[in-house]
Amino acid sequence: MKAYSSSLNVLMIAQYFPPDLGGSATRAYNLAKGLFLNGCEVTVITAFPHYPHGKIPREYRWKPFKIEWLGKIKVIRTYVPPIKSAGFFRRILLIGVFAVSSLFALPFLGEVDAVWASSWIPGIIYGRVKSRPVALNEDDLTLEDLVDLQLINEGSLVLRIAERIYRVFLAKGDVVTPVSPGYVETLSKKYWVDKKRIHVVKGGVDLSIFKPCVARPKSDKFVVLYSGAFSVAYDFEQVFRAAKIVEEKFGDVEFVLQGKGELLGSMLSMINELNVKSVKIIDKLLSREDVAQLLCQADILVLPIVEYKKPYRGMSSKLYEYQAVGKPIICCSRGLPSVYVRETNSGLVVYPGDYEAFAKAVLELKENPELARTMGENGRKYVETEASIEAVGFKMKEIFEILTQRNRLPRL
């Protein structure tokens, strides 16, 4: 794919953006910065910070919107109600409100050459208003995940209606940019998206923030860490049961889980029920810089993906961040993340729910520091060449330049 040299004004529309947690927020941030580093002028329309706790910070209350700057990236935040993003109807309400409130930003936009949207409805509207090409982002196969997590019945009327709506939306995008190659077949076969319109663009990682520590402070604890949302996509019971096994053999291993989310209450109850002493929960939102420092202080980083009905087809942005700090990974998955970790030789893979294998993997890495070090180095080397935000931004800019060039040509 050939790139053109002209500078682009890119409008990004994403309901989730840091300090919100989750892969969608991380993806939007990484792409915004990656596009900027590739010479683009970037404006982001996003919601007030709200995920996953539903608490709107004081400086946004009673305002329809607020304009901020992330360096030279313009960020226009618009209203969403202060409700927790939990349950189907609350999530739909938040999506609907942001679809409307995001239009408040229209008078404050300058020139726009292309639109990238993880929030499809306002993205399509802005694309039509500005007469510019639109890339519809696909962070998750949401409907398929609901079925695989057994949160909705396959073949239900609600699901069939939602699938038809998805087809309509996806037909409106000039291109579709999934974060995972595992989504391509579903987008093509189920949602009728021409493969020529599908371009996989990785989530990427900001290597200026996520990097190996220069010197790690001495500690009497061997730390196994998870950082992110406490959501139904992750199996924390597997972590707790593995911790119970490990603590019976070694008293110097500590399991740390940092983040926020709807599962916090059940996690605390489970720890008490299992009487696990080696688990520490940090119920706190951290800045990206603080998360990077926390990851640096760990010995092992874990991705405990829950067991899906079918092998998981997505790619968690955590994997790139974990690799970037040069730490070995324990990946609990039967799907694409496990393939990725094996292919990059950056960690060990166990099946979801197999807490005995999880505990064995922890002990293997603890007792083999050279293996752990080598796996950490392998991960860092991979993201430096394949998943930096500069590389991700360059690919997205390349796609937009071809689309805008086509739009300048007369139709035959």
- List the CATH number of the domain containing 308: 3.40.50.2000
- Residue 161 in tokens: 């209606």
Q: Are residues 173 and 279 in the same domain?
A: no
Which ranges of 77-139 would DSSP assign to H, the alpha helix? Answer: 88-101, 120-130
For 63-89, what is the mean pLDDT? Answer: 89
Give the span between the Cα atoms of 176 and 178, in whole angstroms.
6
Note whether 181 and 200 are within 8 A (CB): yes
User: Strand pairing partners for 41?
Assistant: 9
Which ranges of 8-111 would DSSP assign to H, the alpha helix? Answer: 23-37, 88-101
Q: Is the pLDDT of residue 408 over 60?
A: no
Q: Evaluate whether residue 144 is within a structural domain.
A: yes
Domain hosting 99: range is 9-204+388-408
Q: Is the pLDDT of residue 5 over 50?
A: no
Across the beta sheet with 329-332, the strand order is 279-283, 253-259, 222-227, 300-304, 329-332, 347-350
Q: Looking at residue 233, what is its pLDDT? A: 86
* pLDDT, tens only, 135-185: 999 988 776 777 666 667 777 887 788 888 888 999 999 999 999 998 999
Q: Are residues 239 and 190 in the same domain?
A: no
Q: Evaluate whether residue 213 is within a structural domain.
A: no
Q: How confident is the model at residue 325 (pLDDT cuts 50, 70, 90)?
A: very high
Q: Are residues 379 and 397 in the same domain?
A: no
Q: Is the pLDDT of residue 395 over 70?
A: yes
Distances (CA, A) of 383 to 26, 36, 188, 211, 389: 16, 19, 28, 11, 9
Q: Are residues 58 and 107 in the same domain?
A: yes
- Residue 328 in tokens: 């070995």
Domain count, the chain: 2
Note whether 346 and 378 are within 8 A (CB): yes
Q: Evaluate whether residue 169 is within a structural domain.
A: yes
In this structure, what is the dihedral angle of CA atoms 88, 94, 98, 99, given to the nearest 10 degrees?
Answer: 30
Q: Is the pLDDT of residue 410 over 50?
A: no
What are the DSSP calls for 150-177, one per residue? TSS-TT-HHHHHHHHHHHHHHHH-SEEE
Q: Looking at residue 407, what is its pLDDT? A: 58
For the chain, give the mean pLDDT.
Answer: 89
Q: Are residues 230 and 188 in the same domain?
A: no
* pLDDT, tens only, 219-251: 679 999 999 989 888 999 999 999 999 999 888
Q: Looking at residue 27, what is its pLDDT? A: 92
Note whether 37 and 390 are within 8 A (CB): yes
